Amino acid sequence: MLIIVGLGNPGLKYRKTFHNTGFAVVDKLVASRGGSFKRSICKGKICELYVGGETVVVAKPQTYMNLSGECVRELMGRYHAKPEEVIIVYDDIDLGVGELRMREHGSAGTHNGMRSIVSLCGDKMPRLRVGIGKPVGMQPLYDYVLSQPKGEVATALTAGIERAAAVLDAYIKERSISKAMQVLQ
């Protein structure tokens, strides 16, 4: 059993924003495996993939970002998943645009979606962070994460999203963070 949760905000208004990077990564992963998000359960849209005889649930919470933990908690209950069987994919302002980091566990940092997940589900689940960089000048963080990348930034983020989907695909097969990250070398 593996549950992969990409974080973002529901609705067309947010579709191509920095904060929906997690959605973009899982969309790319599911499309590469010929799947689609057809079901709505546990406050999210899900796709069930079958890889090597195992179910892999890929989810996009349909709560707003700061309530993402509700969806993750319900999915864990429905599928009887342990924290180490759940991986969260999300945007990170502390990484350069398109950079990736994968960890076995950790704190929520400044990310509201991860704060919700950690408060409801604990901090023992793996996570894949995709860098979106920081706002330039005096732009408030809220405005930045809800804006759409443009130009070279958009190109770098798209490349990061593609690499992140490849890392997740390797993680599904290997169940090892170090082996999954080797696809970047």
Domains of the chain: 2-184 (3.40.50.1470)
CA 38, CA 115: separation in Å to the nearest integer? 27
**pLDDT, tens only, 16-66:** 999 999 999 999 999 999 999 989 999 999 999 998 889 999 999 999 999
Q: What is the mean pLDDT of residues 157-172?
A: 97
Question: What mean pLDDT is predicted for residues 83-89?
Answer: 97
Active-site pick, 19, 80, 105, 111: 19
The yes-or-no verdict on residue 185 having pLDDT over 80 is: no
Closest CA to 9 of 58, 33, 56, 45: 45
Which pLDDT band holds residue 162 (cuts at 50, 70, 90)?
A: very high
Q: Vertex 35, ends 83 and 23: CA angle to 5°?
A: 55
Q: What letter would DSSP give residue 148?
A: P
CA–CA separation, 12 vs 127, rounded Å? 25
Question: What are φ and ψ of residue 105, in 5° steps?
Answer: -170, 180
Q: Read off the pLDDT of each residue in 120-131 and give the average, rounded to a whole number.
A: 96
Pairing relationship of beta strands 2-6 and 54-61 according to DSSP bridges: parallel
pTM: 0.96
**Contacts of the segment 47-52: beta carbons below 8 A, 24+ positions apart:** 49/172, 51/172, 51/173, 52/173
| Catalytic site includes residue 19 | yes
Of the chain, the percentage scoring pLDDT greater than 90 comes to: 84
